[in-house]
Amino acid sequence: MNMKLITTIILTLFAGAGFAVASERIDSVSYAFGHQYTLGIMAGKNDMMQTEQDFKDYIRALEDNIGNMREMTDSSYMMSYCLGAMEAVFMTDGLHHKKKEELPPFHCIISGLRKVGEGKINLPADTIAARDFLNRHSDDDKKASDLDKETECEFFTSYGIMKAYQPGLQQYINGLKPGTSCVENRQAYATGMADILEAYSIPPATAYDQGRMIALSMNMTSIEQDPIDPASFVAGAKASLGLGPQIIPRFEAEEILNRQFEQQAKAAGAVDYEVYASKLGEYINRLEIEPACPYYVDWKVTARAVAEPGAALTETEPEFVAQVHEATVELDSTSGILNVQWTFDEPDALKWAEFTEASIGKHVAVYINGKYMFAPRVNQRISGGRCAISDLTPEEINSLFKNAEKVAPQHPVDTIEIIDF
């Protein structure tokens, strides 16, 4: 860890007439994360964290699920795990807007991914069988939800297996890090995908579930930033629950974490939020539609692969054609950019996935009603039918949504709440 503050702590424990001395090496940043994150989930009312047994189950989940140091220092494992986790985030994008009955059985997809992640796949026999099963039960006129429950689950389990082996992973790694020595690790890729799918699609019901979600978020933090030391993190969590010694005082743990966040903010570059908010407000005021609200549209979306973005202006036959009937303008909370977003209907979503898979490494020129929009480079298969356009001016967005009517809000329905990671 670049900013590690390693402290040797001498613990003096008095017992009766004598005392014992224990010495541990503690990574203070990891300890502070464990301590403060756990205090955070205890703030307010938390029905899952009420008894000492709940606390022990929470700690057990941390110990079971925080990545071990062998994996976290293996760059190939880290890279593949992270890309799998990112793919899971894409797969769950927008799920909180859907009705419960419209959602796929994620536990079945996760089952297929776990088989790959745990090395319980015989290649190529199992992938051939999974592909054959998907082909037998795929019909343009039918949805997977039309199958009986057992067949539907087997369908999505097969999908999970094939998802773990979707082509292009090594090419994507090479594109992200030219000249890298990282080699694709399909077990890590499947594990990352399964871990995040579980965290995003299945709300926690127990203290163990809650600890597992915290552990998964720490795994992602270790991949994106500096690695968390699992033992120190767990030690901090135990101290906050009274299950272990207070190695670093609470106020000091809070200060350590604040310094860490300040350093990360400086590394990312200072942002003038008042100026940012003013510009964003001005941008939104020029829109003639309401952001974050779905609108009925009548778009013919076409696309074709091109060698480079400049070639997109040359007219040739499209390789992908679909109709879009509903779209929104959403604010990307990470970049602060407004995106035009839509999701293709199920038959077109499958065609979009196949088209993008065949176009990996190329630019794809996208047109709406014959007008060129953009030509992004495709790095992997895009599942779920998602598509988004950024960097449009308010006037360009207004033109796209001209005469579009807002979708009437529906009555409240049961939904699955997606938990921010």
Tell me the percentage of the chain whose pLDDT exceeds 70: 76
Instruction: Report the DSSP pairing between strands 338-343 and 320-331.
Output: antiparallel
Q: What pLDDT does residue 373 have?
A: 86
Q: What pLDDT does residue 142 have?
A: 60
- Residues 187, 164: Cα–Cα separation, whole Å: 8
Q: Residue 390: which domain range?
A: 281-406
* Residue 94 pLDDT exceeds 80: no
Q: How many domains does the chain have?
A: 3
Same structural domain, 180 and 301:
no
293/103: higher pLDDT: 293
Same structural domain, 181 and 235:
no
Structure-block tokens of residue 365:
């020129």
Q: Which residues pair with 330 in a beta bridge?
A: 339
Average pLDDT over residues 243-257: 89
Same structural domain, 49 and 82:
no
Tell me which residue of 260, 323, 378, 183 sits closest to 1, measured CA to CA.
260
Same structural domain, 191 and 254:
no
Structure confidence at residue 275 as a pLDDT band (50, 70, 90): low
Q: Is the pTM of this model over 0.75?
A: no
In a domain, 417, yes or no: no
Q: What pLDDT does residue 225 have?
A: 62
Determine how many CB atoms are found less than 10 A away from the CB of residue 383: 18
Residue 364 near residue 304 (C-beta atoms within 8 A): yes
Same structural domain, 88 and 128:
yes
- Residues 80, 26: Cα–Cα separation, whole Å: 29
52/316: higher pLDDT: 52
Lowest mean pLDDT, pick from 289-298, 317-326, 367-376, 406-415: 406-415
- Residues 409, 421: Cα–Cα separation, whole Å: 27
380/376: higher pLDDT: 376
Model confidence pLDDT, tens digit, residues 24-68: 578 898 899 899 888 888 766 678 888 899 999 999 999 988 865
* Residue 70 pLDDT exceeds 70: no
Same structural domain, 223 and 235:
no
Model confidence pLDDT, tens digit, residues 197-231: 887 777 788 999 888 888 877 776 665 566 778 88
Average pLDDT over residues 370-390: 82
In a domain, 105, yes or no: yes
Residue 344 near residue 356 (C-beta atoms within 8 A): no
Determine how many CB atoms are found less than 10 A away from the CB of residue 270: 7
Q: Which of 211, 246, 270 delimits the end of a domain?
A: 270
7/203: higher pLDDT: 203
Same structural domain, 77 and 163:
yes
Asked if residue 204 has a cis previous peptide bond (ω within 30° of 0), the answer is: no
Average pLDDT over residues 262-281: 63
Same structural domain, 304 and 375:
yes
Model confidence pLDDT, tens digit, residues 278-312: 666 777 888 888 888 899 999 999 998 887 665 55
Same structural domain, 128 and 223:
yes
Q: Which residues contact 163 (CB under 8 A, 6 or more apart)?
A: 87, 109, 112, 113, 190, 193, 383
In a domain, 305, yes or no: yes
In a domain, 421, yes or no: no
395/418: higher pLDDT: 395
Residue 98 near residue 200 (C-beta atoms within 8 A): no
Average pLDDT over residues 235-261: 89
List the CATH number of the domain containing 375. Answer: 3.30.1360.200
Average confidence score pLDDT of the chain: 78
Q: What pLDDT does residue 322 have?
A: 94
Highest mean pLDDT among 102-106, 120-124, 322-326: 322-326
* Residue 72 pLDDT exceeds 80: no
Same structural domain, 55 and 78:
no
> How far is C-alpha 184 from the chain's CA centre?
19
In a domain, 415, yes or no: no
Structure confidence at residue 411 as a pLDDT band (50, 70, 90): very low
In a domain, 117, yes or no: yes
Looking up tokens 């709940």 gives: 54
Same structural domain, 72 and 49:
no
Looking up tokens 């009420």 gives: 50
Same structural domain, 348 and 402:
yes
Q: Which of 250, 270, 290 delimits the end of a domain?
A: 270
By the 10 Å C-beta count (0-12 exposed, 13-18 middle, 19+ buried), 350 is classed as middle
In a domain, 276, yes or no: no
In a domain, 80, yes or no: yes
